[in-house]
Amino acid sequence: MSQPVIQLGPNFIRNIVDEDLASGKHKSVITRFPPEPNGYLHIGHAKSICINFGLASHYQGRCHLRFDDTNPVKEEQEYIDAIKTDLRWLGFDWGEHEYHASDYFETLYGYAEKLVEKGLAYVCDLNPAEMREYRGTLTEPGKNSPYRSRNIEENLDLLRRMRAGEFADGSRVLRARIDMAAPNLNLRDPILYRILRATHPRTGDAWCIYPMYDFAHGQSDSLEKITHSLCTLEFQDHRPLYDWLCDALEIYHPQQIEFARLNLTCTIMSKRRLLELVNEKHVSGWDDPRMPTLSGMRRRGFPAAAIRTFCERIGVGKSDSVIDMGTLEDCVREELNSVAPRAMGVLRPLKVTITNYPEGHAEEFTVPCHPKDPAMGARTIPFSRELYIDGDDFMEDPPKKFFRLGPGREVRLRYGYIIRCDEVIKNPVSGEVTELRCSYDQETGGGVLPEGRKKVKGIIHWVSAAHAVPVKVHLYDRLFSVANPAAEKELDYRELLNADSLEVLTQALVEPSLVDAVPGSSFQFERLGYFSVDSKDSQPGKLVFNRSVTLRDTWAKSST
């Protein structure tokens, strides 16, 4: 499988790699994408994926997929499978280079014993509360654990007994012996191993002690001969520990380089909070189309190419920032504009009867599937006496610049005839408009405008009542009602959820060409937006369409 080309452009990481290759420090480039299998990938991960795989591809190197599976309490096979599915959907392939931190458990344990034998690690019996107390603060140094002075023989014996399962969970940990007065809290004798009896997805119950992420990560990089270990900025303060461990163990030392993580408006990127949204039923699952997960975006109809383009456009920098959701949606629009066939759909049907059109008669208009791509072919649209238009395209008392249908007004039916509204039928009790009775100009079919005929300004979409296909439509909007929910420290983030993030329309209709639309396929509903057939809820004869994105960004205008 060939890798997609990622145009990241010149950036500080490429400058480092260029220098390393020119100096002979490295002869090739090996990166890695190291997800923890404790949740689904989100759009922030997509940036890391594009950087790691894209950089390796640019230099004709390779990128490893490595699961940092060091916490079996939170890890599941479901997440492992989902991560691989998302990576392949984005277009990336790791070939034979799939690894797991658990592949190295025996080697990592050997490293732990080596640190003990060098006097650089010790077994500590402090409980979590005591350890926090001894750790100190950003302005005050920590205090040495009373167990820090244990000798090498005792520490080695205790570590081996920890592995053998002699001690209760949480009763002891292995800590690095570095400096409890270090300004960087990550160097204040960090935990390397903890006792944890939990069944691991790959190693089962073979282990009852597990390495911490900070210990497993750098050493796994070393074992795989990673040349450039690319991380987001929150790992910058962890780099001194990464370096210390490699040097203390006297093993190959990869270079860790940090870049700015991706933050997107009106959503959150914390896997812990995303899991809470799933578990508390605020969303329907990890693949809910409102979620920032790749599976949610795929289900919503975001093309993989659009996400890659988005990652290219935001670039690679060193300063955290919040990117407007509209930037991602613009990339989706651009991609779908070129690849999505056109169709007509009516979301809120309003009946139209063409009173001067023959009863029982129907005709067809042949129209292109895409106005700029003849290769997509053509489709036929039936026209009959009874039609449906969108209720939003009619106003009983329209303002001056409303160019759609109103009493006595004319509009062009897209690809069809010019019609005039002659009569408005209402529900006698509620006063709701239930039907429009119109007349058509039979000389204007198929978009024709006879000589001398006045051109109308309004063009609206429609479907033939007798031929329309009933569908359900999900209209999705921003998950949160504020631009940066993570910054709202005074409120629970759940209070910021957008109550209007989902509207379900059960009476929608689409043209008959979509009757056999395949789950996952996308279309532009003319004048309405881009819609995708739901890959989960759609069934033959019971189609569900998800609105991927509107035709233009209406959020910025409505929120100002």
| Residues 358 and 300 reside in one and the same domain | no
| Residues 442 and 490 reside in one and the same domain | no
Asked if residue 4 is part of any domain, the answer here is no
- pLDDT, residue 560, reads 34
Examine the fold and report which residue of 421, 441, 460 is the final residue of a domain before the chain moves on.
Answer: 460
Asked if residue 265 is part of any domain, the answer here is no
- pLDDT, residue 3, reads 78
Asked if residue 324 is part of any domain, the answer here is yes
| Residues 101 and 213 reside in one and the same domain | yes
Phi-psi region of 259 (alpha: psi -120 to 50; beta: other; left: phi over 0): beta
| Residues 29 and 147 reside in one and the same domain | yes
Examine the fold and report which residue of 460, 495, 513 is the final residue of a domain before the chain moves on.
Answer: 460
| Residues 176 and 300 reside in one and the same domain | no
* Active-site residue flag, 36: yes
Instruction: Sort strands 522-525 and 529-533 into parallel, antiparallel or unpaired.
Output: antiparallel
Exposed, middle or buried: residue 487 (CB in 10 Å: 0-12, 13-18, 19+)?
exposed
| Residues 17 and 163 reside in one and the same domain | yes
Q: Which of 177, 188, 271, 308 is catalytic?
A: 271
* Active-site residue flag, 32: no
Which helix (DSSP H) or strand (DSSP E) does residue 16 occupy?
A: helix 12-23
Which domain does 248 fall in, by range?
A: 12-259
| Residues 85 and 203 reside in one and the same domain | yes
Task: Supply the CATH number for residue 95's domain.
Answer: 3.40.50.620
- Say if CB 555 and CB 475 are below 8 A apart: no
| Residues 426 and 515 reside in one and the same domain | no
For each of the chain's 560 residues, which pLDDT tens digit applies? Answer: 567 888 888 899 999 999 999 999 999 999 999 999 999 999 999 999 999 999 999 999 999 999 999 999 999 999 999 999 999 999 999 999 999 999 999 999 999 999 999 999 999 999 999 999 999 999 999 999 999 999 999 999 999 999 999 999 999 999 999 999 999 999 999 999 999 999 999 999 999 999 999 999 999 999 999 999 999 999 999 999 999 999 999 999 999 999 999 999 999 999 999 999 999 999 999 999 999 999 999 999 999 999 999 999 999 999 888 999 999 999 999 999 999 999 999 999 999 999 999 999 999 999 999 999 999 999 999 999 999 999 999 999 999 889 999 999 999 999 999 999 999 999 999 999 999 999 999 999 988 888 888 889 999 999 999 999 999 999 999 999 999 998 888 889 999 999 999 999 999 999 999 999 999 999 999 999 999 999 999 888 899 999 999 998 765 544 43
- pLDDT, residue 446, reads 87
| Residues 361 and 427 reside in one and the same domain | yes
Q: Which of 32, 36, 300, 410 is catalytic?
A: 36
Count of domains in the chain?
Answer: 3
Q: Which of 143, 261, 527, 536 is catalytic?
A: 261
Alpha carbons 548 and 552: distance in angstroms, whole number: 12
| Residues 287 and 398 reside in one and the same domain | no
Cα torsion through 475, 479, 480, 484, rounded to 10: -130
- pLDDT, residue 302, reads 98
| Residues 81 and 191 reside in one and the same domain | yes
Runs of H (alpha helix) within 206-324: 213-223, 239-249, 271-279, 294-300, 304-314
Alpha carbons 269 and 450: distance in angstroms, whole number: 57
| Residues 255 and 354 reside in one and the same domain | no
Asked if residue 466 is part of any domain, the answer here is no
Alpha carbons 262 and 310: distance in angstroms, whole number: 11
* Active-site residue flag, 261: yes
Q: What angle do CA 250, 254, 256 make, to 5 degrees?
A: 125
Examine the fold and report which residue of 227, 259, 291 is the final residue of a domain before the chain moves on.
Answer: 259
Task: Supply the CATH number for residue 406's domain.
Answer: 2.40.240.10
